[in-house]
Chain A
């Protein structure tokens, strides 16, 4: 079946540094990918929609200069957390939408990235 791979699965970084998270669709081309953030015991919150070849669309309240999204190819989207601070520590998950609907799903999710900023 379709697989979306997210890397790294966890990362610890120092406050003030930047961290890049990759999201790859392994067996289909994804013109649209989504980035979510999840706090413990809370729901996933959509951060932005990543569109191949164009600028990402950010949800209200998400700082586009802090969370840089690049979707340079049909199989790769990246999220860069710039000048990370402890409050950016969270679980980040991407999803990719295949061009054709598959049974029981419209999008496949990566395994998530646990970011800890110290």
Chain B
């Protein structure tokens, strides 16, 4: 069974600081990995999708890396802003279906 772990569980930084969020998974046989953002009491917004053959993906201030062999992904958020405050979830898709296994998330607070 795939286990997805996100460390730290919570993070508080001053505005402007770069954020580094970690995600690890136990089974390297993944099809892809996604990073999501979840605001309190809301659904999920997809941020980045990395295919298993890719090493990283970038979108604006966001950059996600994937090291499939070691079972790790890192989400970098540059120059954080208060609007970045949210919970960030990573999820891996198994190779043989579209089911996602989620981590518990990292709750980020960016202080103005």
B78 in contact (CB, < 8 A):
no
In the docked arrangement, what's the CA distance between A6 and B41, Å?
13
Which residues does chain B contribute within 8 Å of A109, judged by CB atoms? 36, 43-46
Kindly list chain B residues whose C-beta atoms are within 8 Å of the C-beta of A95: 44
Say yes or no: A104 contacts B49, CB within 8 Å: yes
Chain A min CB distance to B72 (Å):
17
Measured in the bound complex, the distance between the Cα atoms of B93 and A32 in whole Å is 15
**Which of B41, B42, B99 contacts A46 (CB under 8 A)?**
B99
Nearest opposing residue in chain B for A94, CB measure: B43
Please state if A93 and B105 are interface contacts (CB–CB under 8 Å). Answer: no
Please classify the interface of chain B as helix (H, G, I), strand (E, B), loop, or mixed, using the class held by over half of its residues: strand
B88 interface hit (Cβ, 8 Å): no
Instruction: Say yes or no: B59 contacts A104, CB within 8 Å.
Output: yes
Could you say which residues of chain A place their CB within 8 Å of the CB of B101? Answer: 46
Q: Which interface class (under 10, 10 to 19, 20 to 34, 35 or more) fits B?
A: 20 to 34
Q: Is A54 positioned at the interface, with any CB of B under 8 Å from its CB?
A: no
Measured in the bound complex, the distance between the Cα atoms of B34 and A36 in whole Å is 16
Bound complex: CA A36 to CA B6 (Å): 19
Which residue of chain B has the shortest Cβ distance to A91 in the bound complex? B41
Shortest B22–chain A CB gap in Å is 15
CB pair B41–A112 under 8 Å, yes or no, is: yes
| 6 residue pairs, one from A and one from B, having the closest CB atoms | A105-B46, A109-B44, A43-B102, A111-B43, A109-B43, A43-B104
Residues of B within 8 A of A (CB): 4, 9, 32, 34, 36, 41-49, 57, 59, 89, 91, 93, 98-105
